[in-house]
Structures are given as C-alpha cells and as structure tokens.
Amino acid sequence: MSKLHYCIDGTSVTDKVLRYQQTKENDDYVPIKLYYDNFRDWWYRKLQDYLDRETFDADYDFKLCKAVDTFDEDQARAVAEKYGLNFLGMFNRWFYRILSNWRSNAKSSAFRVKNRPPVQCPVCGRFVPRINDEHLSHYKTISDLPRFFVRDGMIYKTETSPSTFATVWGKYTRKKLQLMQRGDTKIYLDERKKIRWPFFQKDRSRGVVCPFTKKIVPAITNEYIRGLHKRHNRYAVPMRWSEFQEEHPVILIQSEIYSVDRADNRSDDAIMAKDYISKEYSTDEADHTNLDKFAKNCRFEHSFNMIDYYVEDELDRKILKLVAVGYTVEDIADSLEMEKKDVRLQIRDIRDSCIEMESRLLE
C-alpha cells in the first residue's frame, strides 16, 4: 500500500485530483483510483449487509468519480485554513464524507423496508402502527374536527383558538356545507371573507365555537374533546382491550417485521390475520344467515359497526349490511323474502334519513 494521502507516483491524492480536473487525462485518474482501491474492502465490510459486492463496486467507482468531479479547491483551502488541516488530506476528507452519507442512506433505507407496516383496526377501519388500549378508546382529536361549522346562518372555518380574524364562507346551505366538508371549497372561494373575530365568551373575552356543541369555549384541545359527551367525542365504538381480544382473537395488533425476501417463503402459520380471515370467509359462501361471519372480515367489519352504531331498526340493519357486502336489490329481496319494490323503498328511506342525519351531524 502506498503512503497515506500519496498516489503510487509520489503525488499527493489531492494534487492529483486537481490535476485531473484540469487535464481530464485517464493517466491522471488511474493513480487516484488505485489509491482508493486500497480502501474498497474496508468500505465493503461496512456496507455488505445492504448491498451485494457487484453493486457495491459499481457504486464505489461512481462515488469516486463524483467526488473527483465535485471537489472544490477554493472551498477546500478555506476549510483547511479555518480548521488548521493539512491541505494534502482535503480530498480524502471530501470523499470520506460522500461515502459516509452513502452508508447512512443505505442503512436507513434498509431499515425503512423492514419497518412495520401499519395494521387496520377492525373496529374503526383506521390504520395504526399498533392497536392498543389508547387507540381502542377511539377518542377524536383536533385532527378529527369538521373543517367548517354553521352559526347564525353563516358558514365559518373551524379554529381551535381565538385569533384577530375569523374566516367566513357566506350563507349556509346544506348542500354547500356538505361539499365544503368534503374538501370542495374551490367553487365558493368568491364568498370567502376575513372578518374581525366575532366570538366572545360571557366574560367578554374571545372564544371559539365548538363545532360539536355549538357553545363558545376558550379553546379546543384534545383534552377538551375527550371531556365531551360520548356522542361527540368518539369516532367509533369505544372498546375495552379484553373485549377486543375476545372478539378478534385472530387479528394481529401489530404487523410482523418482514424482510424484503420474505414474500417468497411465507410459512402458513405466520400468515397475516387479514389474509387468514378473507380465506376463511370468502364472499361466495355467505348469505344473510351468516352475516356475523362477514363481520369478522376487516373489510366489512368497519361498515357493519357504523351501521350498528347509527341504524336502530333490525330490518334496516340487515338490508344495509347486505348492500355493504355487494348484494343487488334482487339478491336482497330473495334472501329476506321481500318484494323487490319494498326493498327499493326501504333503501330509499334509509338513504334519506342518513342524509338528514349526516347534515344534522355536520351542522
């Protein structure tokens, strides 16, 4: 091995790089490459968990090329002076930094691939890193607040703490509010106005309107939302951990860490709960008598919960669940021994009362 910081021909590596930047002659590049071939194995040992040797070698050559191209003499001289470093070693520092970045990128991307994918909660349908006690209480947070609310016939943007100005979006109509809550605000942009803060508490200090209770409160925080009546403060049925385990014994509460090559050699006993369930209860074998089985399928469970939560009538529930799993009016009429006409009417009724309920919830 040649002397530290010196190429085999006796020139310092840094000088050689500067020379090559001028000449672009292969003869000036080869000594640099030969010098750094000495460090190849050392770097490969650092990276061998993430790259195969061939990829590593190609990348290493490429990084060296890049480093030689981008080495900036003026900047290097300034840095050397500032920190009292030997200028001869400056290219080496530059290349070392590039290689170190490479190593940490390789490491973190490998970690990302192995990271746990989120799991879907069968009760609320949301994806979470892990289903735990905390999650199962299904409390709303300020991120669940409706974006707009209605007061005195006008639509306002929801704020969590008082400010100097409030944003008002013009006169309320049910349709307009529905579209806006869904994110279609563009068509109403002309009506948007900033106005002096209009909401005051009894003691004349500024407050915000709670979009759930319509009352004026000092501020809306996660704690405030938790303290509300359960009609307002949950987005799904709250559940105790013990109930959850009893009802969903096969649901994984946290996914396994799979490495990249895992898909090829999955063993049957380690299969994800979701796959297991859809294998057990495929759509074909279900009819209205075993709707309960559907409920164990993540995909339907969320809809079923919503239906049970909001719909009281037993027949309405049955019809809605069949609609949710993809039954046609004919199928439903057959399964429930009803007239097709009646099924249609019933569905229309349910839909109307849902729209009614939705707008009541949003107001």
Q: Which is nearer to Zn ion, 176 or 274 (CB)?
A: 274
Output 14 or 120, the one with its CB closest to Zn ion. 120
Distance in Å, CB of 92 to Zn ion, minimum: 54
In the complex, the smallest distance separating the C-beta of residue 141 from Zn ion, rounded to whole angstroms, is 13
Percent helix, strand, coil in the chain, to 5, is 60, 10, 35
Q: Which helix (H) or strand (E) holds 166?
A: strand 165-171
- Residues forming contacts to Zn ion in the complex (CB under 5 A) are 121, 123-124
Residue 194 φ/ψ, nearest 5 degrees? -95, 135
CB 90 to Zn ion: min, Å: 56
Which one, 172 or 304, has the nearer CB to Zn ion? Answer: 304
Q: How far is the CB of 343 from Zn ion (least distance, A)?
A: 32
Of 190, 193, 155, 153, the C-alpha closest to 176 is: 155
Reading phi first (left if > 0) and then psi (alpha if -120 to 50, else beta), residue 171 is in beta
How far apart are CB 151 and Zn ion at their closest, in Å?
31
Nearer to Zn ion, 131 or 320 (CB): 131
> What residue is closest to Zn ion based on CB?
121
Tokens representing 164?
């100097």
Shorter beta-carbon distance to Zn ion: residue 17 or 121: 121
Q: Please, which residues have CB within 8 angstroms of residue 43's CB and are 6 or more apart in sequence?
A: 56, 60, 99, 103
- For the CB of residue 239, give the shortest distance to Zn ion in the complex, in Å: 8
Burial class (CB in 10 A: 0-12, 13-18, 19+), 211: buried
How far apart CA 189 and CA 248 sit, in angstroms, is 46
Give whichever of 123 and 220 is closer to Zn ion, judged by the CB atom: 123
* 65: nearest Cα among 101, 89, 19, 30: 30
For residues 333 and 315, is the Cβ–Cβ distance under 8 A? no
